[in-house]
Amino acid sequence: EDQVTQSPEALRLQEGESSSLNCSYTVSGLRGLFWYRQDPGKGPEFLFTLYSAGEEKEKERLKATLTKKESFLHITAPKPEDSATYLCAVRRGKFQFGAGTQVVVTP
């Protein structure tokens, strides 16, 4: 059975304190690994798609990387506005989401 596991469940950071979120997956025939950001009471906002091991993508303070078994979302020098829940999802046929990592960045 395909599985997507995100860790940690929650992360509290000081502003400027860089960190990484993990998304490990077990799925054969991966058709993409996706990162989304979700603010409370809103729908997920698309961030990145990664397709193959070794691929990296960046957007502002976020960088996503992919290996054959996991993906990392690196947050560099985070700001309070980076506070959100970050979801990863994998796609073989349909999408399967992880439980998310809730990130809180304090000033």
Partner 1 sequence: GAVVSQHPSWVICKSGTSVKIECRSLDFQATTMFWYRQFPKQSLMLMATSNEGSKATYEQGVEKDKFLINHASLTLSTLTVTSAHPEDSSFYICSASDPSYNEQFFGPGTRLTVL
Q: Is 95 in the site for partner 1 (CB under 8 A)?
A: yes
Q: Which of 46, 54, 68, 69 binds partner 1 (CB under 8 A)?
A: 46
Non-local CB neighbours of 79 within 8 Å, separated by 6+ positions: 15, 61, 105
Distance CA 24, CA 88 (A): 9
H or E, element range at 4: strand 3-7
> Rounded to the nearest 5 degrees, what angle is found at the Cα of 85, between the Cα atoms of 3 and 69?
30
Q: Is 42 in the site for partner 1 (CB under 8 A)?
A: yes
Which candidate, 88, 97, 95, places its Cα nearest to that of 20?
A: 88
The interface region with partner 1, picked from 19-27, 37-45, 63-71, 75-83 by CB under 8 A, is: 37-45
Q: Which of 57, 63, 91, 92 binds partner 1 (CB under 8 A)?
A: 91
Residue closer to partner 1, measured from CB, 72 or 97: 97
Q: How far is the CB of 29 from partner 1 (least distance, A)?
A: 14
Which candidate, 34, 8, 5, 37, places its Cα nearest to that of 21?
A: 8
Q: Is 12 in the site for partner 1 (CB under 8 A)?
A: no
Binding site for partner 1 (CB under 8 A): 31-32, 34, 36, 41-46, 49, 87, 91, 94-95, 97-100, 102
